[in-house]
Structure 1
């Protein structure tokens, strides 16, 4: 994913769609979205549904798969965790890291996200790093500071070349699953702040190669406006990605 940046349309299914539902979803979804190289369509199914998704996507290399989480160790006594090597062997190309639910429900820290990014890059996959503020933090005028704090440990462990392998997803926590969406202006402003931090660390040319996605109550009726904002390179969609017709409409919103 290097400049010029192609739109990235990503669906995070969270703890939804078992294997049978996954097969039905793609049977409905794929005929509605023509193959194309002008965008990148990505799904993050639950781990138990990954094989069903991969099977359903045979013959559609334009649709890519990722996993929702990994652990940074290569192997060991870590019940319930997935390693990067396991994800790669299963066919994953990307890994979500630091989603707000991992941070706020499961207590994942920014230092832990940095360890995961390091492991993912070393394993040859693409990390999709999620950052974003809570409603209280936004009301306290700390949105940019919080995102800066979340990005800093990751940027500290990257080389300039590795920055080009990173995808960043800005997700205001107060807009995830609430039906409340950041205004297009809010989204553009925060995406600009993210890219300014990337530029300060690695220079403008390197920063310009990094896709920055917006996530937070993205729906078919607001996707086009969000995607039209300067610096918004795609969307990371939660609930609306569970509906085949709705997510197909979002994929077509790139024009």
Structure 2
């Protein structure tokens, strides 16, 4: 069992939108390494996407992996976004790209391959579940060759019941969830109850908080919003006892404001909480 604090790279999404001559992964390392040093976190996990790398060439990936090891960074790689659409010309290319990116995740030393969903029109809930089962089955089968578990996130459509249906219909065992503590609110679910419900399938977590303002869920630093963090984090701790490693990656999704200070506050919260677990 190991609880590892981490940061989702997209917590800096507003800064990453700016065009620079450097690949996004370099910007992210410039952000997170000082945090790991300030709080004496070794290792610190970092979630990032293949699209944020400079290259997929083996030599580059091997050098980057060595850099991660030197900096005490544990990588968790996002391999792509699956398109749940009836038009195969739209859905097949993203799936094939995600399958290809599995070897990138494996080469960098990530035990998980994270993926997301986007949706096409005209497809009912039942249709989206069917398409998800088909596509994730193919992704999971390919991931078995690399010893990877594939996980998706609760966001704005599939409920916990939907995920249970999807995962139980997939015959492969290397499928699961990276549970987002705040996003259960977007789905109208209680974060603690949903976390408990999905425990058997949870292999990773994005730790974030929200307040509701003028019909919009607004991202706020951990502990300042609606998520009941003490019991939710305790549930994640219990889940970690059944995992070799469970990363708790903090996430901010600001529409405005200072991303750096917000992420810093989240990490400080997690460091204090983790210290209480010993």
Which of the five TM-score ranges fits, normalised by the shorter chain?
0.5 to 0.7
Residues 196-240 of structure 1, C-alpha deviations (whole Å, 9 max, x = no match): xx3xxxxxxxx7xx5452566565622586553232353463636
Determine which of 189, 192, 216 is the counterpart of 2:193: 189
Indicate the residue corresponding to 1:147 in structure 2. Answer: 163
Q: In 2, distance between residues paired with 1:124 and 1:50? A: 24
Indicate the residue corresponding to 1:204 in structure 2. Answer: none
Determine which of 84, 96, 104 is the counterpart of 2:114: 96
Determine which of 246, 249, 252 is the counterpart of 2:262: 246
Q: In 1, distance between residues paired with 2:6 and 2:29? A: 15
Q: Which has the larger radius of gyration?
A: 2
Instruction: Tell me by how many angstroms 1:94 deviates.
Output: 2.9
Q: In 1, distance between residues paired with 2:78 and 2:209? A: 21
Indicate the residue corresponding to 1:222 in structure 2. Answer: 222
User: Please, what TM-score do these two structures have when normalized by structure 2?
Assistant: 0.56
- Show structure 1 runs of 5+ residues with no match: 72-76, 138-142, 199-206
Count of aligned pairs between the two proteins? 211
Instruction: Tell me by how many angstroms 1:109 deviates.
Output: 1.5
Q: Is the 8 A contact 1:11 1:237 kept in 2?
A: yes
Which is richer in strand? 2
What aligned pairs does 1:72-87 form with structure 2 within 5 A after superposition? Answer: 81-82=97-98, 83=100, 84-87=102-105
- Show structure 2 runs of 5+ residues with no match: 83-91, 122-127, 211-218, 238-247, 273-278
Q: CA RMSD in A?
A: 4.4
Q: In 2, distance between residues paired with 1:193 and 1:63? A: 27
Q: Does 1:27 align with 2:66?
A: no
CA separation of 1:41 and 1:66: change in aligned 2, threshold 3 A: same
Residues 92-113 of structure 1, C-alpha deviations (whole Å, 9 max, x = no match): 543113x2xx243697613312
Indicate the residue corresponding to 1:45 in structure 2. Answer: 49
Q: Is the 8 A contact 2:44 2:74 kept in 1?
A: yes
CA separation of 1:14 and 1:81: change in aligned 2, threshold 3 A: farther
User: Please, what TM-score do these two structures have when normalized by structure 1?
Assistant: 0.60
Q: Does 1:213 align with 2:208?
A: no
Q: Does 1:115 align with 2:138?
A: yes
Residues 47-86 of structure 1, C-alpha deviations (whole Å, 9 max, x = no match): 2425599386461233324133289xxxxx9587251224
